[in-house]
Amino acid sequence: MSTSLLKKMRCLHILWLALMLNACVAPLLLMSPQGQLMWALLKPLVGLNPNDVGLFEQPLIKDRMQALLGDNYDTTMSLLKTADKIQQEGPLFYMVSTYTPVPEMAEKAGFVWNSDTNQMAVMLLTGGSPQIISEQFTDQAEKLVPSWPKELADYTDPQKLQQKANTEITPLKEATPIKEIKPVQ
């Protein structure tokens, strides 16, 4: 082979490599600086216990959660601290409580951060119905609806909630009729 052909092939390999690396980095470059920090914080922690790594004490998470949840912060955090791992499903990083230490307040909590939109959202399940609290950004033209991982998506679908409610209703035993009521004298 001639040296000019080798140079052309080497240039093509370098160009191909540059395009591949650019495709990996491009999503990060499109994120806001805060989104990049969240990605850098959460990505290496996927699969780990959020309590073991002190995730909820990180100022980047804690400050946004306090602003988002307001009065619901303590209840939500007591539920989320029962989550046993940080999970990822596509652009969604999430945690789901495994049990409830405060059943009178809520049965389940889920936290989701969408890396595509840099939006945090929390779902509190109380009495079988979800309460969704999500960040809304002031520079948006329309309301941003949060995305949910499969594990939490059923709680946001009205049809699935209705089906679940119908299956949880147990039929009453057949009542025996009252024969006769005698007046008291």
Per-residue pLDDT of 119-143, as tens digits, reads: 999 998 887 788 889 988 765 545 6
Q: Which percentage of the chain shows pLDDT scores above 90?
A: 41
Give a yes or no: residue 76 inside a domain: yes
Q: Per-residue pLDDT for 5 more than 70?
A: yes
Q: Are 125 and 160 in contact (CB under 8 A)?
A: no
End-to-end CA distance of the chain: 120
Decide: pTM greater than 0.85: no
Q: How far apart are CA 97 and CA 117, in angstroms?
A: 23
Give a yes or no: residue 52 inside a domain: yes
Beta strands in 53-114 (DSSP E): 87-89, 92-96, 108-114
Query: Where in the sequence is the domain holding 118, given as residue range(s)?
Result: 30-166
* Number of domains within the chain: 1
Give a yes or no: residue 82 inside a domain: yes
Give a yes or no: residue 171 inside a domain: no
